[in-house]
Homo-oligomer: A and B are copies of this chain.
């Protein structure tokens, strides 16, 4: 793709470094900005740079935060003894949106993945183990995705903390609410039979 303008070319090249955005899409976005008022491009650029420069990570749970301790960890109404371990910030947002969890989080920053060169030391596992060791943690809930990497990470953390008096649990896997059984995959359906729960608990 040849550009008649170096300015466009540079903007497209930078845009195309974002994941899932190829050079064609980047060009479409850049040409769109060209048709919009100058302010839109300024606001976008300022918001991105400000976000990148000023964002902090909660020193306790590693969630993104505008302060040194995030709103969730700082909230006295949240149960500090129940920690939900998640992969990244989007998982925190997804669980928060359900309104069903009143504990706090621990954001790992990824999963152990030898294929992608991610080892335990690149994640915030050590800080989670310290928390379990030093504080009054009653329960650790694993909420990683159920892939090989997720299972490996769960197991690695489990080994590190099993010597302490802490309960461990994992979020329920099963048929999604409203889904038809006939279209469910075998693994999920099989697991939902094996890990069946007392009917009374669904009536709460």
Contacts and interface: CB of A to CB of B under 8 A. Distances in A.
B51 A8 contact: yes
A52 B31 contact: no
B97 A2 contact: yes
Report the copy number of this chain in the oligomer.
2
Contacts of A54: 7
A127 interface: no
A27 B92 CA distance: 13
* Chain A interface residue number, banded: 35 or more
Contacts of A44: 14-15, 17-18, 45, 48
Contact of A55 (B15, B34, B88, B89): B34
Contacts of A201: none
B92 A51 contact: no
A4 B15 CA distance: 26
A141 interface: no
A6 interface: yes
A167 to B, nearest CB: 26
